[in-house]
Chain A
Amino acid sequence: MIEAVGLTKRYGAKTAVDQLSFQVKPGHVTGFLGPNGSGKSTTMRMILGLDRPTSGQVTINGLPFRELPNAQRHVGALLDAKAVHGGRRARTHLLSIAQLSGIPEKRVDEVLAVVGLQDAARQRTKGFSLGMGQRLGIATALLGDPQVLLFDEPVNGLDPEGILWVRNLMRRLAAEGRTVFVSSHLMSEMALTADHLIVIGRGRLLADMGTQEFIAHNSAGFARVRAADTDPDGRDTLGRALAGAGGRVLQEPDGALRVTGLELPRISDLAHGAGVRLWELSPHRASLEEAYMRMTQSAVEYTSTEDPRAELWEQDPLALPAWEDEPTAPEVPQAGFFAPPPPGAGGKPFLMPSNPGELASTAKDSTEDPR
């Protein structure tokens, strides 16, 4: 079990990690989410005693990492896939780490086989792809057969098959009763891998709850209702009826209505009562990605500035329907107009950017800070 209490790290005036308290329990895959620069890696380094907290403390099984006897047998970590001497061969790299804790040479070949690098064992690591580097880093973490495992962005640079492999590996390790703490900025990946989530933004704890609970808490589902186009007044009549019943209604550019605050059967009843024919009445549930975006929006460290040619991209914004006189802040779709995936598919939804900068910022997400 990993336990952080009031963990804080400042670099000069900049606070990288701010009063972070959480527990990571055994038997679960705990996802550690946050935008780039939110302090995930710093926290990981503090857990491993590489960085000293400015204040607060973090312990593993009750002891600070630096005081753990035979640390490698208790804790395994992948921090940075590139943190190897490129001139050394994969096997000798692992051997040198294994020897630090008196782990037998046989174990080196075992973990090489586990991560599928047995054929690359005698290659120098500078020739490794990022994916191979990740596998080597995971092998390093597994060497001591530890009860506590930390992985910092383990799926970076892996191909789909590799991602699936990592996901299964994490789940298997957790099923064996180990503590598995995985950081990522890929929400969709965490939705599939983690049972529990710790979300941070700007170094502060934003959420600490089960994955399903997180989605339920943070997803604002809505219903899309489309009145028959053949009835010109239908939409307005329906809108007024829904608003009158306490629903919050926004109009999408193509004329469909986005309704929150009313259950689907109730919407159907209201439409029936108002005599409006419907062409569409569909439920939309926010994915983890959307929940996360909503939560971390204000906590994003690197935001892109406005593109001067933004008008080329501009699309019709969500409009307040005619029957709403005073403008109210849209509650649901802050991130912009999006088309969520069908329920059940865990794939990452494509978020239509409301400005081109958002495209740029998702591209930036793929690189983590090198430390």
Chain B
Amino acid sequence: MAFTAVLTSEWTKIRTVASTSWTLAVAMIVTVGFGALISTAAKAGLDRMSALERAAFDPTVVSFTGMQFGQLAMIVFGVMVVSTEYSTGMIRTSLAAVPARARFLFGKLTVATALALLVGLLTSFVSFFLGQAILGDHGTGLGTENVLRAVIGAGVYMALLALFSMGVAAMLRSSVASISILIPFFLIVSNALNIFEATRTYGQYLPDAAGSKIIEVVPDTIAGTGTPYGPWGGLGIMVLWVAASVLGGYLVLRKRDA
């Protein structure tokens, strides 16, 4: 029984439930929609800005503003992929067929993360092009330095966030618990910690704050000045978070009774 068998099976599972398509569709629509909305608003504001302010304007980041909300749907996607196994009891049917915990979990996470990456990249490219089209003269293009890294990075960021949520769901084994921890955390706690200078020292190391650094083209647009890591450093911090979460999920699956 090869790893590919688990991948095939997990692909069948993921494409045959409704939650997959709606969570991913919402993630995409919300990200693109809000991005377009903010871009429109930004364009109106830009005309009234000083030259200095315009220099600090990052058109790439503006077109990705919608990710703030779209990422919540990605979190829900990640949670649902794992937790429905538990809520439905399917996990026992699955594990009675694949007793190897590692193969089962990593197969599932591989398929779901690949799908999230695909949708994430599609979302980031559509958001980017639509945003730049709205910004018009103030916009930028893929040819500009660091822009391609930012656009691909946005897609990767969304996939990593989904994977992080899968790890958390594997640890908590419940949709309700996972979602009610993750959503307020990313929507409120992380943002609040990063608003104030005093708490930002710690807040900037949270997965979303660090990871989203990858989407900035003009330095320090995202987190203000003095961030001790660059775009890649930030993504690296997020990868560590994700690794910890997945490892935790695996250990729980291996140790606890299903």
Is the pair A95, B97 in contact by a Cβ cutoff of 8 Å?
no
Within 8 A of B (CB), among A68-103: 68-72, 75, 77, 79-80, 82-89, 92-93, 95-102
Is the pair A77, B12 in contact by a Cβ cutoff of 8 Å?
no
Closest to A49 in B: B99
Flag whether B16 is at the interface (Cβ < 8 A): yes
Flag whether B13 is at the interface (Cβ < 8 A): yes
Query: Considering the chains assembled together, what is the distance between the CA atoms of A49 and B94 in angstroms?
Result: 12
The proximity string for A residues 17-59 relative to B, scoring 1 for CB distances below 8 Å and 0 otherwise, is: 0000000000000000000000000000100111110000000
Of the candidate stretches B83-91, B139-147, B150-158, B177-185, the one touching chain A is B83-91
Flag whether B51 is at the interface (Cβ < 8 A): no
Is the pair A52, B257 in contact by a Cβ cutoff of 8 Å?
yes
Is the pair A83, B90 in contact by a Cβ cutoff of 8 Å?
yes
**Known contacts A50-B92, A84-B93, A85-B88; A99/B258 CB under 8 A:** no
**Known contacts A87-B17, A87-B19, A102-B2; A71/B99 CB under 8 A:** yes
Closest to A47 in B: B96
Flag whether B98 is at the interface (Cβ < 8 A): yes
Flag whether B9 is at the interface (Cβ < 8 A): yes
Residues on A with beta carbons closer than 8 Å to the beta carbon of B258? 45, 50-51
**Known contacts A99-B5, A100-B9; A79/B93 CB under 8 A:** yes
Further 7 A-B residue pairs, CB within 8 A, beyond A48-B92, A68-B99, A84-B88 = A67-B99, A84-B90, A87-B16, A92-B16, A97-B97, A100-B6, A100-B97
Closest to A83 in B: B89
Within 8 A of B (CB), among A269-325: none
For the complex formed, measure the closest distance between the CB of A109 and the CB atoms of chain B, giving whole angstroms.
15
Flag whether B95 is at the interface (Cβ < 8 A): yes
For the complex formed, measure the closest distance between the CB of B157 and the CB atoms of chain A, giving whole angstroms.
29
Query: Considering the chains assembled together, what is the distance between the CA atoms of A115 and B77 in angstroms?
Result: 34
How many residue pairs bridge A and B at CB < 8 Å? 100
Query: Considering the chains assembled together, what is the distance between the CA atoms of A140 and B6 in angstroms?
Result: 16
Jot down 7 A-B pairs with beta carbons below 8 A, ordered by A: A45-B92, A65-B99, A80-B89, A83-B90, A83-B93, A96-B13, A100-B6
Interface residues of A (CB under 8 A from B): 45, 48-52, 65-72, 75, 77, 79-80, 82-89, 92-93, 95-102, 140, 144
Is the pair A80, B92 in contact by a Cβ cutoff of 8 Å?
yes
Is the pair B257, A50 in contact by a Cβ cutoff of 8 Å?
yes
Is the pair A82, B89 in contact by a Cβ cutoff of 8 Å?
yes
Is the pair A99, B8 in contact by a Cβ cutoff of 8 Å?
yes
Q: State the majority secondary structure of interface residues on B.
A: helix
- Partner among B18, B93, B257 whose Cβ is within 8 Å of the Cβ of A140: B93
Query: Considering the chains assembled together, what is the distance between the CA atoms of A51 and B255 in angstroms?
Result: 9
Residues on B with beta carbons closer than 8 Å to the beta carbon of A71? 1, 96-99
Is the pair A66, B9 in contact by a Cβ cutoff of 8 Å?
no
Flag whether B52 is at the interface (Cβ < 8 A): no
For the complex formed, measure the closest distance between the CB of B173 and the CB atoms of chain A, giving whole angstroms.
13
For the complex formed, measure the closest distance between the CB of B15 and the CB atoms of chain A, giving whole angstroms.
9
- Partner among A69, A85, A92, A98 whose Cβ is within 8 Å of the Cβ of B90: A85
Query: Considering the chains assembled together, what is the distance between the CA atoms of A82 and B89 in angstroms?
Result: 7
Within 8 A of A (CB), among B15-43: 16-19
Is the pair B84, A72 in contact by a Cβ cutoff of 8 Å?
no
| Category for how many chain B residues contact A | 20 to 34
Is the pair A92, B12 in contact by a Cβ cutoff of 8 Å?
yes
Residues on B with beta carbons closer than 8 Å to the beta carbon of A79? 92-93, 96
Flag whether B100 is at the interface (Cβ < 8 A): yes
Is the pair B84, A85 in contact by a Cβ cutoff of 8 Å?
yes
Residues on A with beta carbons closer than 8 Å to the beta carbon of B16? 87-89, 92-93, 96
Residues on A with beta carbons closer than 8 Å to the beta carbon of B90? 83-85
Is the pair B1, A97 in contact by a Cβ cutoff of 8 Å?
no
What are the nearest 3 A-B pairs in CB distance?
A: A83-B89, A99-B9, A51-B257
Query: Considering the chains assembled together, what is the distance between the CA atoms of A70 and B5 in angstroms?
Result: 11
Residues on B with beta carbons closer than 8 Å to the beta carbon of A87? 16-19
**Known contacts A50-B96, A96-B13; A101/B89 CB under 8 A:** no
For the complex formed, measure the closest distance between the CB of B5 and the CB atoms of chain A, giving whole angstroms.
5
Query: Considering the chains assembled together, what is the distance between the CA atoms of A96 and B98 in angstroms?
Result: 12
Residues on A with beta carbons closer than 8 Å to the beta carbon of B13? 85, 88, 96
Most buried by A among B10, B17, B18, B88: B88
- Partner among A51, A88, A102 whose Cβ is within 8 Å of the Cβ of B5: A102
Query: Considering the chains assembled together, what is the distance between the CA atoms of A45 and B91 in angstroms?
Result: 12
Closest to B12 in A: A96
Query: Considering the chains assembled together, what is the distance between the CA atoms of A71 and B100 in angstroms?
Result: 9
Residues on A with beta carbons closer than 8 Å to the beta carbon of B6? 100
- Partner among B17, B98, B257 whose Cβ is within 8 Å of the Cβ of A100: B98
Most buried by A among B2, B10, B91, B96: B96
Query: Considering the chains assembled together, what is the distance between the CA atoms of A95 and B97 in angstroms?
Result: 12
Query: Considering the chains assembled together, what is the distance between the CA atoms of A339 and B93 in angstroms?
Result: 42
For the complex formed, measure the closest distance between the CB of B104 and the CB atoms of chain A, giving whole angstroms.
8
For the complex formed, measure the closest distance between the CB of B68 and the CB atoms of chain A, giving whole angstroms.
29
Is the pair B96, A48 in contact by a Cβ cutoff of 8 Å?
yes
Query: Considering the chains assembled together, what is the distance between the CA atoms of A65 and B16 in angstroms?
Result: 29
Closest to B2 in A: A102
Residues on A with beta carbons closer than 8 Å to the beta carbon of B17? 85, 87-88
Closest to A70 in B: B1
Closest to A86 in B: B88
Closest to A140 in B: B93
Residues on A with beta carbons closer than 8 Å to the beta carbon of B89? 80, 82-84
